[in-house]
Structure 1
Amino acid sequence: MDRLTGKVALITGAARGQGREMAELFMREGAKAVISADVLDAEDAESSPVTFVKMDVTQDTEWKSTIDAIVAEHGQIDILINNAAIVKYETILETSNELYDKVLDIDLKSIFLGMREVLPHMIEKKSGSIINVSSIWGLAGVPSSYAYQAAKGAILNVSKNVAATYGADGVRCNSLHPGYILSPMNADQAQDINDALIAGTVLGRPGQPIETAYAALFLASDESSYVTGTSLVVDGGYLAP
């Protein structure tokens, strides 16, 4: 229950779903503070120890003001989880410029902005863990969701880039690749897609948000102090065959 004692974490897209599960778990594991940055309102926020702030992850000025406020209040930022994302199901021939830009801004550019803003603080402290949430679709092809897959595939390599560049400064960076997790984000996903994902999963079921949260906890904690530049898959064995 004390795997994150004294640590301060910022998790984007943590008003609900996997991000919310991570935030609540991190507080139970002794974190000094966990801040959820989201454009959505969190349910039951008043009964949660998590700090909920409104932030548009596509705006660098909002990243700066949020991180500056965290450091001013807590004196540190130890963990950044870039979890905010949207998914659209159009193929490349159905993808407009506007849709592509929107998905890439939220799912990928936000990660660039967040890491660029948080890295100086982590480098100064010679310590930090960055976790960028990708997807199994960052590792394998899918016959739809062109823009989403473009972003999720890129997350793997930008995470490796930051790991390779700033490892000597004490900063670790990893990508997390969930499979089909029951979450509000995929609540509108077509049933045939859900059925195919479950059918292709070795464990024969969808994942629960807490199962992704425990993987994030490992990467955020000192238990993974020798883990950086890797891609942790939490998919019930979907990619195993």
Structure 2
Amino acid sequence: MDNLTGRVALVTGAAQGIGHAVATALAAAGAEVTATDIRDQSDLGDHIRTRSHDVTDDRRWREIVAEIEADHGRLDILVNNAGVSGYDDLHDLSLTEWNRIVGINQTGVLLGMQHALRLMRAQQSGSIVNISSICGAVSVPGVAAYHASKHAVLTMTKNAAVSYAREGIRANAVLPGWIRTPLTLGQTGELNGVFLDATPMGVGGEPSDVADAVCFLVSDRARFVTGVDLPVDGGYLAR
């Protein structure tokens, strides 16, 4: 296990699924973790500080990062995980639905990086991991806004990587494939079948698979890794 003792981390969308696994794994590796979500996070336990957080709310970002700064004086790790899906085709996609998905998946990532970078640039160190998706790299029918938002996350991550590398800040993206979470289990069997049938390993992954990748990327073992799109997808993108 990577040793993250003394590191201060912020993880969004941590109430369930990938975010829950990431927050738990970082804490197990020794990090001081603040986990945020709009949902209840009480099952994360007392060793992880939880906060209610709408990632589209700039003022709430300011409050949470200011609290971390007051308590720890630094922020070493940001994991932008909060996200939602949507299943509309382009011709059926309403502007309201577009704004909802892009607001959470893309603008939420922007705000997270902006506020984290204020501390990371001051301390001249930090690691950002943005959770994208295989749908950020390739397309399936429908899910138009989700595709757009998750692709944007990849380019935003690369921009941060090249912009702040000389300041000791790394930025990487993780692209989960089909992972067993409440979100994927709530999808139709037909849609899940599209992904699983196209996964060379023939099975889906678990949230812990993504959490392990995140722990590596934020650790010193990845000190020379930045601007990477890391698939955790059972070979989906290798086809």
TM-score bin, normalised by smaller chain:
over 0.9
Q: Give the C-alpha shift of residue 187 in structure 1.
A: 2.3
Q: Work out the percentage of aligned pairs sharing the same amino acid.
A: 40
Q: Which amino acid aligns with 2:137?
A: L
Q: Which amino acid aligns with 1:34?
A: V
Q: What is the TM-score when the length of structure 2 is the normalising length?
A: 0.97
Structure 1 stretches lacking a partner, 5+ long: none
Of the candidates 160, 170, 179, which is equivalent to residue 162 of structure 1? 160
Of the candidates 55, 58, 76, which is equivalent to residue 57 of structure 1? 55
Q: How do 1:58-73 and structure 2 match up within 5 A?
A: 58-73=56-71
Q: Which residue of 2 aligns with 1:75?
A: 73
Q: Which residue of 2 aligns with 1:24?
A: 24
Q: Which residue of 1 aligns with 2:218?
A: 220
Aligned residues: 239
Work out the CA distance in 1 between the residues paired with 2:194 and 2:139: 14
Q: How do 1:44-193 and structure 2 match up within 5 A?
A: 44-45=43-44, 47-193=45-191
Q: Give the C-alpha shift of residue 43 in structure 1.
A: 4.5
1:239 aligned counterpart, secondary structure = helix
Q: Give the C-alpha shift of residue 2 in structure 1.
A: 5.1
Deviations 1:63-91 (A, max 9, x none): 00000001101111100000000001111
1:175 aligned counterpart, secondary structure = strand
Q: Which amino acid aligns with 1:6?
A: G
Work out the CA distance in 2 between the residues paired with 1:48 and 1:186: 28
Call closer, same or farther: CA 1:202–1:171 in 2, change over 3 Å: same
Q: What is the TM-score when the length of structure 1 is the normalising length?
A: 0.97
Q: Which residue of 1 aligns with 2:37?
A: 38
Deviations 1:126-162 (A, max 9, x none): 1100011000000001111000110001111010001
Which 4+ residue blocks in structure 1 deviate beyond 3 angstroms? none
The answer to whether the 8 A contact 1:86-1:107 is kept is yes
Q: State the superposition RMSD in angstroms.
A: 1.0
Structure 1 stretch 194-203 or stretch 56-65: which is displaced more?
194-203
Structure 2 stretches lacking a partner, 5+ long: none
Q: Which residue of 1 aligns with 2:3?
A: 3
Q: Which residue of 2 aligns with 1:200?
A: 198
Q: Which amino acid aligns with 1:124?
A: A
Q: Which residue of 2 aligns with 1:240?
A: 238
2:147 aligned counterpart, secondary structure = helix
2:170 aligned counterpart, secondary structure = strand
Work out the CA distance in 2 between the residues paired with 1:142 and 1:153: 13
Q: Give the C-alpha shift of residue 94 in structure 1.
A: 1.1
2:4 aligned counterpart, secondary structure = coil
Work out the CA distance in 1 between the residues paired with 2:57 and 2:115: 11
Q: Give the C-alpha shift of residue 234 in structure 1.
A: 0.4
2:160 aligned counterpart, secondary structure = helix
Work out the CA distance in 1 between the residues paired with 2:74 and 2:42: 27
The answer to whether the 8 A contact 1:15-1:52 is kept is no
The answer to whether the 8 A contact 1:24-1:48 is kept is no
Work out the CA distance in 2 between the residues paired with 1:2 and 1:233: 20
1:52 aligned counterpart, secondary structure = strand
Q: Which amino acid aligns with 1:44?
A: D
Deviations 1:148-179 (A, max 9, x none): 11000111101000111111001100111000
The answer to whether the 8 A contact 2:2-2:29 is kept is yes
